[in-house]
Amino acid sequence: MGNKIQMTINTQKEGEALGDLFGIFFEDLNHAADGGLYGELIQNRSFEFDSIDHPSYHALTAWEKVESPGSRMMLSVQCTRPIHHNNPHYLVLEVLETKEGAGIKNLGYNSGITLRQGDAYRFSCFAAHDGRRDLEVEVSLETMVGEVLEQKSICVKDKNWKCYELILVPQATCTEGRLVIKMKDIGRLYLDMVSLFPCQTYKNRINGMRKDIAELLEDLRPKFMRFPGGCLVHDGSLCAEDRDSLYRWKNTIGKVEERPSKRNNWGYNQTLGLGFYEYFLLSEDLGAKPLPVLPAGYDPHHQRKVPLDALDEWIQDALDLIEFANGGVETTWGKKRAELGHAKPFNLEYIGIGNEEVQEGFFERYPYFHKAIKEKYPHIKIINTSGPFAAGSEYDRGWESARTHQSDLVDEHYYQAPEWFLAHHHRYDRFDKEGPKVFLGEYASWGNTWYNALVEASYMIGLERNAPAVGLACYAPMLCNVDYVNWKPDMIWFNNHQVFGTANYYVQKLFMNHQGDVKLDLQVEGLPDKEVQNIPLIGEVTLTPVVNTVALYKDIYIKNEDTGEIITVEAFTMEPTSKEIVLGTVEAKNYTIGMKAKRIDGKRGFMIRFSKKDAANKLNWEIGGWQNMDAVLTEDVNNRNSCLTQRSFSVETEVEYELQLQVRDRHITTFINGEKVNETLHLPVMIEPLYYSASKDLQTGEIILKVINVREESCSAVIDLMNAEGNQIKGNVYYMGGYALEAENSFEQPRLVSPKHSRIEIDKKDLEYIFPGQSITIFRLSVETK
Ligand code: AHR
């Protein structure tokens, strides 16, 4: 332990408002909606699964036949007399012969349907017969091996579609349950929208959310909720009726049986049962401001663009959404909201146009949305985007567009190594508080360990310090079903019956629960020096094979700019299956790497690695990366990648490119054919002695002090609550620490890494505290007179 530190909080010196700083981001990936937060237990309830959603899907995915000896049955999926044209398919179950019944069962998600003894489940379906006879249909909840836990019947009496409902209460608990629907006699049954919901959804809403997951969200107390994605929003065709259309909110409201089924770009089906009305309701139930994101008539993944003269429909969608959320019941869309059950407005304040779009396709469309929205709704805050990169020309273009059009916020996204977050702690210190604000709409360090969470906490102190230049921030992604992983890390993991928050979740929770309303002046003296890991950018230089790409390299050299020494390498052709080639090892501070490169075959480009210490630690210059759209400088630290800077660039076959990369101390610049392409200052990892902030809860008057110690050594501090009236401090301390850096929560140990809470009561003059190494401490204090 070093010197004592003096922390002085001037409790009367209130600073800037922290506003809606910390919130959450919901994207339907990792089966976050269907098979996740959305309470529906039946998979493929309307027989709409299709190979467009996923190559293995078909109309009977997740359904199996149930036959008894001597039964004859025919199953087919038809579409001649649908419930609604948006929901064209339905099941035809024709039993030709049976003694004990025949039918179908649904397998649910994961290992099956979770059924809890004594809980009530709402079964519903649309059914009809062929006009020849009424049909007795048995509905049961069973275990995987056919043990019946509950059974009831419906009598289908109509040849027209009718909705039938039952409440089922299983007699035992099981996590591998099945819903079984059997006809007891011969006949032809039409079936659609077969649904099973726990009656106890979050806030007991019909068509509601899974309670355990939603309650974890509620516990966060987020200020806002961004939805519905992510790439989910902007990947798809331009026609709203297409199966794989971009996300169009109007497809997602109204009766669930009338909502179309869509491809989810993460490789599965989205029923849209969790649609925009439900998102607004959920935001309200969570006490979070809704923050919807709409596509801008542009799909950056496939370069699909709505012609500018056809953009009105898309702009109208945005205007109508605002009316849907905020309009009076006399307005067209406000009336629709009221008809759905919510006459009161949802008080929408924010709207995002585009999700991390880059390139001209987006930037030429954004202004039309901006102008129309501001003209009609000047108080709505519009969010522009700076793409999926932490820096570079597209990132700069996003900010430039935001400044030009006076966007209220700019959505930044980055997923980086923990070390990047440490190195970039001061990223927002020089951001302009007057211009557009940062909306850090997606960020995470790669991993769910205590180390990741601790580093994220230190970074969040920087976000708080820089509010209001940083206006909003949310970790991403939020939810992941362990059996359907598209992306990790994630904040909350679940299966069909369990859920746990990661270490990152508990950090987010601490910051949201204890955000405070305004900053308080906090002066700290006696801090030890910063710890700077100034590792030079030296090491091997290599050429690495690129997937599906054959390239010819020639005139290769590495020049040591300190000594003038030059290494040259013979020309060679690199196949995707070739081994990585080491061009040389650099020990100098200043050096230049150059070559000519030509793609002979394939779809991508070239990969030069430098400052390579070992396979897991290196810098990379990739030309023609990700769908051959970028030239990026990235870094791997312990195999965790960070984008340092990016620029749009595509490699063409049979074109020779002159590539040059210059390292001048920590300054890296790249050139293609003599033109500067990337430039970055590589920041060394720097660990501050402590990361801290102070704020005040204006309602309770409580003083909040957050202190993060990322270092191994503990730090002792005297804390002075200056100008606070009274002599006695009372309050709460929330503490995380004492875990191994690699510790993670799991289903078995869901709260291994989670805050501990204690009470504090102490004479004001005696407030001293030891912040243990690698810890997070949050004080929430009041001062009174004893
Ligand atoms: O959060 C996962 C994905 O990362 C989001 O869909 C996208 O916006 C980003 O690229």
In ligand 1, the atom with minimum distance to the C-alpha of 25 is 1
Ligand 1 within 6 A of CB of 412: no
Let me know if 36 is exposed, middle or buried by CB neighbors in 10 A (0-12, 13-18, 19+). buried
Statement: residue 177 has pLDDT above 90: yes
The verdict on whether 360 is a catalytic residue reads no
**Strand partners of residue 779:** 705, 733
Closest C-alpha residue for ligand 1 atom 3: 230
pLDDT band, very low/low/confident/very high, at 262 (cuts 50, 70, 90)? very high
Beta strands in 143-186 (DSSP E): 148-156, 162-168, 174-183
In ligand 1, the atom with minimum distance to the C-alpha of 477 is 1
Statement: residue 339 has pLDDT above 90: yes
In ligand 1, the atom with minimum distance to the C-alpha of 355 is 8
In ligand 1, the atom with minimum distance to the C-alpha of 441 is 8
- The CB-based long-range contact list for 670-678 (8 Å cut-off, 24+ gap) reads 670/621, 670/631, 670/633, 672/623, 672/631, 677/631, 677/647, 677/649, 678/392, 678/621, 678/631, 678/632, 678/633, 678/645, 678/646, 678/647
Ligand 1 within 6 A of CB of 28: no
How far apart are the CA of 396 and the centre of ligand 1, in A?
Answer: 19
Closest C-alpha residue for ligand 1 atom 8: 230
How far apart are the CA of 230 and the centre of ligand 1, in A?
Answer: 5
To which residue do tokens 């140990």 refer?
Answer: 749
Ligand 1 within 6 A of CB of 387: no
**640 CB neighbour count, 10 Å cutoff:** 19
**654 CB neighbour count, 10 Å cutoff:** 9
SS3 742: coil
Let me know if 237 is exposed, middle or buried by CB neighbors in 10 A (0-12, 13-18, 19+). middle
H/E run at residue 638? none
List the one residue out of 122, 121, 157, 152 whose CA is nearest residue 138.
152
Supply angle C-alpha 201, 181, 273, rounded to 5: 35
Write out the two tokens for 304: 């699909």
* Arithmetic mean of pLDDT over the chain: 97
Residue 566 near residue 558, CB atoms below 8 Å: yes
Does the N-terminal peptide bond of residue 292 adopt cis geometry, omega within 30 degrees of 0? no
Report the C-alpha gap between 512 and 24 in whole angstroms. Answer: 10
Residue 568 near residue 557, CB atoms below 8 Å: yes
SS3 260: coil
How far apart are the CA of 96 and the centre of ligand 1, in A?
Answer: 50
Report the C-alpha gap between 280 and 292 in whole angstroms. Answer: 9
Write out the two tokens for 290: 């809704």
Reported as half-sphere exposure (CB side, CA atoms, 13 A), residue 55 has a value of: 0
Ligand 1 within 6 A of CB of 301: no
How far apart are the CA of 555 and the centre of ligand 1, in A?
Answer: 39
Non-local CB neighbours of 627 within 8 Å, separated by 6+ positions: 301
Residue 631 near residue 659, CB atoms below 8 Å: no
Ligand 1 within 6 A of CB of 355: yes
Residue 80 near residue 168, CB atoms below 8 Å: no
To which residue do tokens 């585009």 refer?
Answer: 354
Ligand 1 within 6 A of CB of 229: yes
Ligand 1 within 6 A of CB of 354: no
Report the C-alpha gap between 93 and 79 in whole angstroms. Answer: 14
Write out the two tokens for 699: 């309602």
pLDDT tens string 348-364: 999 999 999 988 999 99
SS3 288: coil
Ligand 1 within 6 A of CB of 27: yes
Average pLDDT over residues 103-125: 98
Statement: residue 1 has pLDDT above 80: no
pLDDT band, very low/low/confident/very high, at 471 (cuts 50, 70, 90)? very high
List the one residue out of 352, 252, 353 whose CA is nearest residue 298.
353
How far apart are the CA of 781 and the centre of ligand 1, in A?
Answer: 38
Q: Specify whether the backbone of 624 is left (phi greater than 0), alpha (psi in -120 to 50) or beta.
A: left
How far apart are the CA of 303 and the centre of ligand 1, in A?
Answer: 17
Closest C-alpha residue for ligand 1 atom 9: 230
Rg (CA), the chain: 29
Percent of the chain with pLDDT over 90: 98
The DSSP bridge pattern shows strands 630-637 and 617-624 to be antiparallel
Does the N-terminal peptide bond of residue 290 adopt cis geometry, omega within 30 degrees of 0? no
pLDDT at 2: 54
Q: What are phi and psi of 149, to 5 degrees?
A: -105, -20
Percent of the chain with pLDDT over 70: 100
pLDDT band, very low/low/confident/very high, at 626 (cuts 50, 70, 90)? confident
Ligand 1 within 6 A of CB of 388: yes
pLDDT at 752: 98
How far apart are the CA of 231 and the centre of ligand 1, in A?
Answer: 5
SS3 423: helix
27, 150, 356, 702: which one is catalytic? 356
Closest C-alpha residue for ligand 1 atom 1: 477
Angle, helices 450-465 vs 503-513, to 10°: value is 30
pLDDT at 358: 86
How far apart are the CA of 196 and the centre of ligand 1, in A?
Answer: 31
Ligand 1 within 6 A of CB of 23: no
Residue 137 near residue 125, CB atoms below 8 Å: no
Ligand 1 within 6 A of CB of 487: yes
pLDDT tens string 205-254: 999 999 999 999 999 999 999 999 999 999 999 999 999 999 999 999 99
Ligand 1 within 6 A of CB of 265: no
How far apart are the CA of 681 and the centre of ligand 1, in A?
Answer: 26
The DSSP bridge pattern shows strands 691-696 and 518-525 to be antiparallel
Q: 17 to each of 171, 221, 433, 695, 772, how far by Cα in Å?
A: 53, 18, 12, 9, 30
How far apart are the CA of 114 and the centre of ligand 1, in A?
Answer: 30
Closest C-alpha residue for ligand 1 atom 5: 230
List the one residue out of 131, 217, 696, 764 whose CA is nearest residue 479.
217
Q: 660 to each of 115, 603, 619, how far by Cα in Å?
A: 62, 21, 15
List the one residue out of 334, 342, 349, 324 whose CA is nearest residue 226.
349
Sign for the pseudo-dihedral over CA of 254, 258, 263, 266? positive
pLDDT band, very low/low/confident/very high, at 3 (cuts 50, 70, 90)? low
To test the ligand 1 pocket, which listed residue (415, 488, 646) has its Cβ within 8 A of the most ligand atoms? 415
Ligand 1 within 6 A of CB of 780: no
To test the ligand 1 pocket, which listed residue (226, 234, 264, 355) has its Cβ within 8 A of the most ligand atoms? 355
Statement: residue 786 has pLDDT above 90: no
**Strand partners of residue 668:** 663, 680
Ligand 1 within 6 A of CB of 187: no
SS3 267: coil
Residue 254 near residue 247, CB atoms below 8 Å: no
Does the N-terminal peptide bond of residue 345 adopt cis geometry, omega within 30 degrees of 0? no
To test the ligand 1 pocket, which listed residue (30, 31, 413) has its Cβ within 8 A of the most ligand atoms? 413
Closest C-alpha residue for ligand 1 atom 7: 230
In ligand 1, the atom with minimum distance to the C-alpha of 356 is 8
Beta strands in 715-754 (DSSP E): 715-722, 728-737
Report the C-alpha gap between 633 and 647 in whole angstroms. Answer: 9
pTM, rounded to two decimals: 0.97
How far apart are the CA of 29 and the centre of ligand 1, in A?
Answer: 9
Average pLDDT over residues 158-183: 98
Closest C-alpha residue for ligand 1 atom 4: 230
